[in-house]
Amino acid sequence: MALFKKRTVGKPGEWYYCLEHQKVEEGPDCPGKDRFGPYASRTEAEHAMQTARERNLEWENDPKWHDASPTGSADGDRDD
């Protein structure tokens, strides 16, 4: 047993979705690299994966973030 256990960052009363255990947790149970959050409520944390999918879809379809040139070439090469 370690003498000094490194505590995870967060506050009790905040809700997180643990990616490793695939469950909702109150307070900072798992390391930050393995969780989404904090969320204000348990319900928000329960929907964390759906929220992430929706945000990813919005990002993928946002024309401001596409790297493709107007001609459709993604590498930026032009036929000059």
List the domain boundaries for the chain.
Answer: 15-63
Integer Cα distance of 60 and 41 in angstroms = 27
Query: For 20-36, b where at least 16 C-beta lie within 10 A, e where not — what string?
Result: eeeebbeebebeeeebb
Q: What is the pLDDT of residues 7-29, one digit of tens each?
A: 555 676 899 999 999 999 998 78
Burial category of 44 from C-beta neighbours within 10 Å (exposed 0-12, middle 13-18, buried 19 and up): middle
Query: Which two tokens mark 72?
Result: 């459709």
Cβ contacts of 63 within 8 Å, gap of 6 or more? none
What does the pLDDT look like over 34-59, one tens digit per residue? Answer: 999 999 999 999 999 999 999 999 99
